[in-house]
Structure 1
Amino acid sequence: MPNLGGGAKCAACEKTAYHAEEIQCNGRSFHKTCFICMSCRKGLDSTTVAAHESEIYCKSCYGKKYGPKGYGYGQGAGALSSDPPRHTGLQPQESKPRPASSNPSENKSSQKFGCSDRCPRCSKAVYAAEKVMGAGKPWHKTCFRCALCGKSLESTNVTDKDGELYCKVCYAKNFGPKGFGLGNAAMLD
């Protein structure tokens, strides 16, 4: 019997989805109430849907199921994948050889993860989670201290001279103006 109502079959429940209640995704029709994530059952819309072949997911569940796996991808070490890599049909690109580093303290993990920022105080790699900028250079949060007194610095109390960091007190004592009325007694002969 022909469908006289003008609707299409819902891809989820296989009942007729009439135009007023129809949502289309990947060339398939859904009822508004059937347009839900296949994993968590959360309602979807055009901005939150992620389709994979004939399945629909919210972006979060799609990422967990089909996205990159492992530590550093927002899932923690508990989601490390032991699945063999899927063949995508793409050929690996030939990479250009990296020039040898003149810094002997450069370790293999910084080469592996593409980190090029080095802390001026300890010369170790500075990663985004621990980076603080000062004097135009990246520093570890733990190395972001006054060179003289060792006080931990913040953007409100940091000063720099010749690439080194100082608290405002040490900077004023060592590099500030000197003379009568500036906190130092003037020597009179």
Structure 2
Amino acid sequence: MASTDFECQYCKESLYGKKYTVKDDSVYCVNCFESLFANICEGCKTSIECNSKDFAYKDSHWHEACFKCVKCTRSLVEKPFAAKDELLLCIECYSNEYSSKCFNCKATIMPGSRKMEFKGSNWHETCFICQSCQEPLGTKPFVPKQPGIYCVPCYEKLYAHQCKSCKKAITTGEVSFQEQQWHNDCFLCTNCNKKLAGEKFTSREESPYCMDCFSILYATKCTACAKPITAQGGPKYISFEDHQWHSDCFTCVKCTISLVGQRFLTKLNEIFCPECGRGI
């Protein structure tokens, strides 16, 4: 390089015997470099000179003396810190002002440490434990119940109902019948094993039955049509001398006129209106 070429890229002043700096393969005198390229300190709002340390965080810069907690003014050089609304704070000040408190031990949950959240409350990971066995819950399933939270095995042991059928604990979805509990999937018709949860059912001798099975097995049969008489078809039926009829079936066997509330005659299991019954 010729002597006449060694000059500041901006002001063209010769740099021989002077301090200079390099940017993008071009040389600048100190004054030009600082006026053109120096970062502005977020603390004092002045340029950060070439001979000063530049502390950077994200897109912001500070002098070494300005790189400090905005609350207690302690230096943050080579110390952990946190940011809030683009302001820097030491860990202690940040924790006191903004960090959540552990629901269990009431101590501050320090920034950067793992925490567990549930229903608006926070825990240290090591404090989020089963109320009974005191084991950390971590990401394992749990059940909330006053006065705390429980791992599933402890909850089942302490509080869950036991299914009358499979003898296992019931944690969700249960059917209560005759002071006993069943899983929804375990509450079945005694005869056909149809699921009864959410369905109409009845019982006999403490055993549940779907309406169809109960009708087939136990319901009184209509003397006329031989079909079961159940509450499903309406509660009205006619009973006479150990025989029963659906109200719609209680008709004269000859002229089919309804005899409900009317005089009638009987012969064996048949009923007649007075007119048709003459001479029988």
TM-score bin (small chain): 0.3 to 0.5
Larger relative contact order, structure 1 or 2 (CA cutoff 8 Å, min sep 6): 1
The structure richer in strand per residue is 2
Q: TM-score, normalised by structure 2?
A: 0.33
Q: Tell which structure's C-alpha radius of gyration is larger.
A: 2
